[in-house]
Chains A and B, each alone.
Chain A
Amino acid sequence: MTDALWSLIAFVLTLAVLSYAIGDNPLFRIAIYTFIGISAGYFAAILIDQVIIPRLITPLLSPSASVGLMAIPLLLSLLLLARLSRRLSFLGSLPMAFLVGVGAAVIINGALFGTLFTQVRAAGLPFTPAQSSPSGWLTGIVLLFGTMTTLVYFQFTGRREPGKGIVRSPWVEWMARIGQVFIAITLGAFFAGVILASLTVLIGRLDFILQSINTLAP
């Protein structure tokens, strides 16, 4: 019974969202507002239940834990709440600076050692003797050429000429045009992936609707 109720609610909400095909309507809005509200509430409950209580409150209340060590995240959290007030918002700059600084350092470190260096090394892999093959060479040349032309496309340095704006040299202009083609292919691949993913989700919802109809139908 409970599953049938939750299936009915899911069926109605799915139809309400699909009603956007005919334009913005109250059913769609109700479904969206419900989804946003439930998600926010759920997220808050998860944060309190999975983060604040086990990682801040419980250690503070635990006799074995170091109160002094836990006081630091507590103080930073309270200072972060000060941003709700205009007069005391400056107090929240310290935890924000800490978060931004630590986050930037982590991202930069991961980008360098997890992406940049490894991708540079991978660009030369097709030309290594161990992996050398006609197809590997061709793939490597295409990848290298595509990478170079794509980087050239984002080279905006040029000479400003009167009446023409910023003009790049001819060879840079041609390389940028080729890189633009590679970028278009990449964006097309991303777009195709998004469409296919959405199509799969739509097929899943249609499957759910058809199964719900079969289940709910007498």
Chain B
Amino acid sequence: MNTVVCPQCGSSNPDKNEFCQWCYAPLHPESTSGFGGSESASIDLPDWLKEAGPLPPSPTEASDEELPDWLLSLRQASETSDFGEEIQPTSGEESFLTPDLEKILSADKDEETETLTQPEPLAQEDLTEWISRLQGEEATEEAPFAAESTPLTGQSEEELPEWLKALREQEEPPVPETYVVEGEATSPLPEPEPFVAESLPEWLKDLSTLSEEGKEAETLPTEEVAQGPEVEEAGLITPEAIPPFTEIPENITAWFEETPASIFENRSSGVYESTPTPEEFTPTTELPPTDEIPEESPEVIPAFSEEDYAAWLDHLKIEETLEEGNLAAQIPAFVDNGIAETAPSPETIVPPFIESELPEWLAEAESPAEGAESGVTPAAQLPEWLEAMRPVEAVAPTPPHAEEEDTRIETSGPLAGFQGVLPGEPEALRYSRPPIHAVRLNVSEKQRAYAALLESLVTAESTPTPLRVQKQVTAPSPILRLAITIVLFAILITGWASATPPSALPTLFPAEAVAFATTINNLSAQHPAPRVLVGLDIDAGFLPEIHTATINTLSDLMRQDARLVFLPLQSNAPVLGLAMAQEAAQQIPGYALSEQSVHLGYLAGETTGLAAFAYQPRLGMATTLEGQPAWDTQPLIGVNSLQDFDAILLITDSGERARGWIEQLRPLFSERPFLVISSAQAAPYLAPYVQSEQINGMLTGLLGSILYTRLTPKVGGENLALWSAYQWGSLTIALLILLGALAGATQALFQAQKSRSKR
């Protein structure tokens, strides 16, 4: 594996690394440059200069045809003087002044040179003497600053600027150099504060050292100082070399106040050594507003663009043109003479400061100044077409790379070692496409099946389904009904009249019938004169079915001298109860029906009335059928609850009503026999209760009557005529049902064949 030696720390790193793994310095400095210039140049330049873009072309590169006339004239004038060459930066160093500014400065200095006496090489002593007087640190106070400056310049008192006049009037010790440098001459200081040597920048300290060394050379002319090579090395220009000015603008004053002293320290070394100090150009120029100068980046201060300098020069010339008369009285004589001697003829001067003749780019450069003068910075407004072309990331809450941390570390320049410096590469160049997501749903087969089922269900719910047309059941024709009636009546009458049943009387007896007969006949053996509650829950229409069984049962009970309590639950039951009791009593001559039996009144409420009677017999039914107090009668004496009865005999033709009797009374009467005489239609309904032994015995319909008669032989008990008609009638009905079923099936077959033949 190839290794690369870090140029900063000297450690070896893998060749694939772009940054040192020890000090995070870039291993390939050329890769960090975002510009396409020569590699050597981009490496040597600091970061801020790299990001500032390519350097402007040198003045020699620009052709004369591309320059405006006024600038050409200035250039021609500068070529006649060699003073400008003196302030040209040394070879190999970059000057932040544009060629235009350098020309202007060289022209001004040329004029001063012509105004003054021919200078000689400036001696070191002369320079130090002047500076020492300028700093005002002369302890001897031999002569005021004005007296020393007068022979140098030879100017009258009126020709001096106001700030210089104020200095003379005060006749105080010379103004400290910081006082001049910072441009505070516009406001006289009542009590200048003592200066601390440590607070001075290094270049000023050097100057102080020089002034102490050359105190003897106090009277040297400033012209010589301005041309001294030492001055060039120190990057200083004497106050005499400062172009005349009327007063220091306030913005410049504020700028000097706010600018830290370190700025001037840096100017003594590096690329700024040959560039003019703020003291050199502030009196003659009007710097842009202080708000346009970044406070924390002093390196950016001299980096004025070409347009700024052009605007500044334009403004400067306009002021000189318009206030020429006023300025003449204030400009010192030496400056005025210089201007007069070097000023070209009006014919040769191209009026460069007429707005109408300014180039377009220069005229446009003035418009921002107007906005700045109003003090209101207009908000950035993009045209609509540009707003529409903005990428989505521009209006998104967070840019796609907003959260990425910039790990790049500056390797050179004043920001070397810092991390997260704003890159020179535009954000737009790092644009990345948004992630692409699949539109297709990721569902499984099971989910797909559920979705299909749900869709089919929704569709089925919304689809109307045709209703089935039920066939209307039509009654048989009157003739058929009459024929069936006649046949049935004939058979019944024939069977009743013949008294010959188709089958013999049954010899096998159901268990419930046997239990019923046994219980009734053995009731007196367990309870002498048993008290039996007879429930009458029957319609009169079904009386013939159970009439025989009921009469025979009641007569058997009367024969055992039972006390019968009739409780009707139907409206016509009381009458039926009376009739059946009288008919049964006729078979037992010695039975006192009126004393041994009692007919309670109609029990209203059906099931609710039964429940009330079961829990509270005396409250459930208080009176007899005749309206007398029931519980004072002989059969009910001593009865307070349902358990005081020895047996319950229910005579019913309805299974539903019989169920109510069983449900309400049987739980409270579980130890005593519960017997039922029911119609044939209620027998299937009561069969489960017989199976569960809730009914101890039961007689059903006509068959039950025959069975009970056969189980308890009585004289004339078997009604063979009725039984014969019943047998024949049952067979006839079964046959008719069978014939009807066959007829229906045949009709259905014919209809099916018809439908098939139609298809």
User: What is the distance, in angstroms, from B214's C-beta to the closest C-beta of chain A?
Assistant: 113
Cβ of B750 under 8 Å from chain A: no
Q: Across the interface, name the chain A residue whose C-beta is closest to B737.
A: A195
Taken together as a complex, chains A and B put the C-alpha atoms of A163 and B465 apart, in Å, by 10
Contact yes or no, B663 A111, CB < 8 A: yes
Binary CB contact string for chain A from 120 to 153 against chain B (1 if under 8 A, 0 otherwise):
0110010000000000000000010000000000
**In the complex with contacts A119-B692, A196-B680, A203-B572 CB distance below 8 A:** no
**Residue from B456, B602, B701, B722 within 8 A of A207 (CB atoms):** B722
Contact yes or no, A23 B604, CB < 8 A: no
Contact yes or no, A193 B681, CB < 8 A: yes
Say which one of B194-202, B581-589, B726-734 lies at the interface with A: B726-734
Cβ of B660 under 8 Å from chain A: yes
Contact yes or no, B608 A23, CB < 8 A: no
Q: Across the interface, name the chain B residue whose C-beta is closest to A193.
A: B681
Cβ of B215 under 8 Å from chain A: no
Contact yes or no, B681 A197, CB < 8 A: yes
User: What is the distance, in angstroms, from B162's C-beta to the closest C-beta of chain A?
Assistant: 105
Contact yes or no, B492 A203, CB < 8 A: yes
Secondary structure call for the B interface: helix
Contact yes or no, B662 A114, CB < 8 A: yes
Contact yes or no, B701 A22, CB < 8 A: no
- Which positions 481-496 of chain B face chain A at CB distance < 8 Å? 481-482, 485, 488-489, 492-493, 496
Contact yes or no, A122 B681, CB < 8 A: no
- Which positions 662-710 of chain B face chain A at CB distance < 8 Å? 662-664, 666-667, 679-685, 688, 691-694, 701-702
Taken together as a complex, chains A and B put the C-alpha atoms of A110 and B662 apart, in Å, by 8
- Which positions 147-173 of chain A face chain B at CB distance < 8 Å? 160, 162-163
Q: Across the interface, name the chain A residue whose C-beta is closest to B719.
A: A207
Say which one of A26-34, A42-50, A82-90, A175-183 lies at the interface with B: A42-50
Question: Which bucket holds chain A's interface residue count?
Answer: 35 or more
**In the complex with contacts A110-B663, A160-B457, A202-B729 CB distance below 8 A:** yes
Binary CB contact string for chain B from 548 to 567 against chain A (1 if under 8 A, 0 otherwise):
00000000000000000000
Cβ of B544 under 8 Å from chain A: yes
**In the complex with contacts A193-B680, A196-B701, A197-B701, A204-B481 CB distance below 8 A:** no
| Inter-chain contacts of A46 with B (CB < 8 A) | 571, 574, 602
Taken together as a complex, chains A and B put the C-alpha atoms of A136 and B496 apart, in Å, by 40
Binary CB contact string for chain B from 313 to 345 against chain A (1 if under 8 A, 0 otherwise):
000000000000000000000000000000000
Cβ of B460 under 8 Å from chain A: yes
Cβ of A186 under 8 Å from chain B: yes
| Inter-chain contacts of A190 with B (CB < 8 A) | 681, 684-685
User: What is the distance, in angstroms, from B299's C-beta to the closest C-beta of chain A?
Assistant: 80
User: What is the distance, in angstroms, from A99's C-beta to the closest C-beta of chain B?
Assistant: 8
| Inter-chain contacts of A186 with B (CB < 8 A) | 684
Contact yes or no, B663 A115, CB < 8 A: yes
Taken together as a complex, chains A and B put the C-alpha atoms of A210 and B725 apart, in Å, by 13
User: What is the distance, in angstroms, from B571's C-beta to the closest C-beta of chain A?
Assistant: 4
Taken together as a complex, chains A and B put the C-alpha atoms of A201 and B702 apart, in Å, by 10
Binary CB contact string for chain B from 413 to 446 against chain A (1 if under 8 A, 0 otherwise):
0000000000000000000000000000000000
Cβ of B48 under 8 Å from chain A: no
| Inter-chain contacts of A115 with B (CB < 8 A) | 659, 662-663
User: What is the distance, in angstroms, from B508's C-beta to the closest C-beta of chain A?
Assistant: 14
Contact yes or no, B482 A200, CB < 8 A: no
User: What is the distance, in angstroms, from A23's C-beta to the closest C-beta of chain B?
Assistant: 5
Binary CB contact string for chain A from 58 to 88 against chain B (1 if under 8 A, 0 otherwise):
0000000000000000000000000000000
Taken together as a complex, chains A and B put the C-alpha atoms of A199 and B685 apart, in Å, by 19
User: What is the distance, in angstroms, from B264's C-beta to the closest C-beta of chain A?
Assistant: 92
**Residue from A106, A114, A196 within 8 A of B667 (CB atoms):** A114
Taken together as a complex, chains A and B put the C-alpha atoms of A5 and B529 apart, in Å, by 40
Say which one of B66-74, B183-191, B622-630 lies at the interface with A: B622-630
| Inter-chain contacts of A194 with B (CB < 8 A) | 680-681
Contact yes or no, A22 B478, CB < 8 A: yes
| Inter-chain contacts of A121 with B (CB < 8 A) | 692
Top 5 A-B pairs, shortest CB-CB distance: A204-B544, A114-B663, A110-B663, A122-B692, A162-B456
A residues lining the B interface (CB < 8 Å): 18, 21-23, 39, 42-43, 46-47, 49-51, 53-55, 102-103, 106-107, 109-111, 113-115, 118-119, 121-122, 125, 143, 160, 162-163, 186, 189-190, 193-197, 199-207, 210
15 residue pairs of the A-B complex, CB under 8 angstroms, read A42-B571, A46-B571, A50-B574, A50-B601, A53-B627, A54-B627, A55-B622, A121-B692, A193-B683, A196-B701, A197-B701, A200-B542, A201-B542, A203-B492, A210-B493
- Having A106-B611, A115-B663, A122-B688, one finds 7 other A-B pairs with CB under 8 Å, namely A18-B485, A42-B571, A103-B607, A109-B611, A122-B692, A196-B730, A197-B545
